[in-house]
């Protein structure tokens, strides 16, 4: 299938149109193999390309278009007419009349009709392949969301565990009379806040997993897939903007489909123009025998006189549709260039933000927590100041993970906009450095 070739050229992954053949059972076995281990981005995409129900329904559009192409290559069936006249008196004989007629215009326009239908099939093929690439980008974005949510849940769980330990310590210190009621309440409020934030992030993870599961078309036991891969770090540099614009114009399948659509509309217009003065032309053979005469055999010709209807309306319609197709092609090309520029700008900004978080903000937050811990232990600041420093550090890590997530989602969108994958080598995002837990001493003064 040409769609599979187009998709594999641009993604390196295989897709298949499930038509109920024996080979489709092997595809189901392959799906089980893909889901057996930890899911990767490429595996998730391949599962969706093979199993997404909406995408499989889109593939069926090719079956419809292919049937239309076959129909366009067939001649209309000839018409057979016959009549028998029986005598009403005893001295008469039976009169018979037969004819067979074939449309001549069908013979004349058959090559052009076949070309128009073939171009329509090619345009539909490109559209279907474009939908497969759009599904690829959506799956990569959903996979990235799950990765980020898993790391955010892990971060929230560490924060909750630290808050739980701190609250337990505060209870014991309060029982011994070493801290105030305010200090205990502060720790308990921090614990409950951490509990709520963990529950919120766990719910977001469930929703992200279910979104990815739907895109992969999974149900039953297959929904128990696992994902251990962490978010990769952002690459050091991006591809050339000029090359990306050129790449989008050259290989975007929806743009190519629009070109094909414009071409077939022009051919359909030429077909209408070439037959505007012919109308219906039918040729055939006729045989007839009168009651008292010999049997006659000869050719027949039937012409539709294009006096009133010379296909003016059809030609005007096709001319408008052709101009419409040209304008839509121009719109696609202009929008593609603009969208690529905007997507790359977003990508560059997110990459710079991620680098700033990693090299500047996160180290500063770690330093602030460490110094706050020392000052707290030295009874120079109170517990609220230490908790604020720890919360700011957690939020900085959260913002960093979300920035990296947004970067990879934007990159998947850019791949969709250029119609193919971008080169990338990246390492996993490191886990957050655990902040030291506060050690409570006698802080009655605070």
Based on the fold, state whether residues 324 and 209 are members of the same structural domain.
Answer: no
Based on the fold, state whether residues 49 and 142 are members of the same structural domain.
Answer: yes
Based on the fold, state whether residues 50 and 190 are members of the same structural domain.
Answer: yes
Question: Which pair of structure tokens corresponds to residue 222?
Answer: 């297959």
Read off the pLDDT band of 288 (50, 70, 90).
Answer: confident
Kindly report which listed range (87-91, 219-223, 225-229) carries the lowest average pLDDT score.
87-91
For 177: left if phi > 0, alpha if psi spans -120 to 50, otherwise beta; the answer is left
Question: What residue numbers bound the domain in which 355 lies?
Answer: 235-276+315-422
416: in domain = yes
Based on the fold, state whether residues 198 and 248 are members of the same structural domain.
Answer: no
Based on the fold, state whether residues 206 and 241 are members of the same structural domain.
Answer: no
Based on the fold, state whether residues 45 and 58 are members of the same structural domain.
Answer: yes
- Longest Cα pair distance anywhere in the chain, in angstroms? 138
pLDDT digits (tens, 9 = 90+) for 399-424: 999 999 999 999 999 999 998 877 55
CB atoms within 10 A of CB 50: 23
Based on the fold, state whether residues 257 and 164 are members of the same structural domain.
Answer: no
The C-alpha atoms of residue 29 and residue 17 are separated, in whole angstroms, by 16
pTM across the whole model: 0.79
296: in domain = no
pLDDT digits (tens, 9 = 90+) for 344-378: 999 989 999 999 999 999 999 999 999 999 998 88
202: in domain = yes
371: in domain = yes
Task: List Cβ neighbours of 90 (8 Å cut-off, separation of 6 or more).
Answer: none
151: in domain = yes
Looking up residue 270, the CATH number of its domain turns out to be: 1.20.1600.10
Based on the fold, state whether residues 189 and 252 are members of the same structural domain.
Answer: no
Based on the fold, state whether residues 270 and 149 are members of the same structural domain.
Answer: no
Based on the fold, state whether residues 16 and 35 are members of the same structural domain.
Answer: yes
* pLDDT at residue 446 tops 60: no
Number of domains in the chain: 2
Question: Which pair of structure tokens corresponds to residue 255?
Answer: 């743009």
Report yes or no: 419 and 251 within 8 Å, Cβ to Cβ: yes
> DSSP string spanning 382-417?
-HHHHHHHHHHHHHHHHHHHHHHHHHHHHHHHHHHH
Cα angle value 353/433/229 (rounded, 5°):
75
Based on the fold, state whether residues 270 and 154 are members of the same structural domain.
Answer: no
């Amino acid at each position: 299938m040409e769609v599979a070739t187009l998709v594999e050229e641009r993604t390196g992954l295989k897709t298949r149109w499930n038509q109920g053949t024996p080979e489709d059972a092997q595809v189901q076995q392959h799906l089980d193999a893909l889901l057996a281990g930890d899911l990767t981005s490429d595996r998730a995409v391949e599962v969706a390309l093979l199993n997404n129900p909406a995408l499989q329904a889109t593939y069926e559009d090719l079956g419809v278009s292919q049937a239309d192409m076959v129909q366009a290559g067939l001649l209309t069936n000839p018409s057979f007419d016959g009549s028998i006249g029986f005598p009403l008196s005893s001295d008469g004989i039976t009169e018979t009349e037969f004819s067979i007629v074939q449309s001549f215009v069908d013979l004349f326009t058959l090559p052009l009709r076949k070309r128009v239908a073939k171009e329509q099939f090619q345009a539909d093929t490109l559209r279907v392949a474009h939908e497969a690439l759009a599904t690829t980008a959506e799956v990569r974005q959903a996979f990235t969301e799950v990765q980020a949510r898993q790391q955010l849940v892990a971060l929230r769980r560490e924060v909750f565990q630290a808050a739980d330990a701190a609250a337990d310590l505060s209870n014991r210190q309060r029982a011994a009379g070493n801290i105030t009621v305010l200090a205990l309440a502060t720790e308990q409020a921090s614990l409950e806040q951490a509990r709520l934030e963990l529950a919120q992030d766990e719910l977001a993870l469930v929703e992200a997993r279910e979104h990815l599961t739907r895109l992969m078309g999974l149900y039953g036991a297959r929904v128990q897939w696992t994902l251990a891969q962490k978010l990769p770090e952002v690459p050091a540099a991006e591809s050339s903007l000029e090359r990306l614009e050129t790449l989008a114009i050259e290989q975007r399948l929806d743009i190519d489909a629009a070109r094909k659509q414009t071409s077939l509309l022009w051919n359909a217009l030429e077909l209408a123009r070439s037959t505007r003065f012919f109308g219906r032309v039918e040729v055939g053979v006729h045989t007839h025998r009168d009651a008292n005469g010999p049997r006659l055999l000869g050719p027949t010709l039937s012409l539709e006189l294009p006096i009133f209807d010379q296909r003016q309306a059809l030609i005007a319609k096709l001319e408008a549709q052709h101009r419409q197709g040209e304008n839509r092609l121009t719109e696609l090309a202009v929008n593609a260039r603009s969208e690529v520029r905007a997507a790359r700008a977003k990508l560059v900004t997110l990459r710079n933000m991620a680098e700033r978080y990693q090299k500047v903000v996160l180290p500063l937050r770690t330093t602030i927590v460490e110094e706050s811990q020392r000052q707290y232990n030295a009874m120079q600041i109170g517990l609220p100041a230490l908790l604020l420093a720890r919360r700011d550090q957690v939020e900085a890590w959260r913002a960093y993970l979300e920035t990296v997530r947004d970067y990879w989602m934007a990159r998947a969108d850019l791949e969709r906009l250029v119609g193919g994958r971008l080169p990338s080598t990246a390492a996993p995002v490191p886990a957050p450095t655990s902040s030291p837990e506060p050690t409570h001493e006698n802080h009655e003064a605070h």
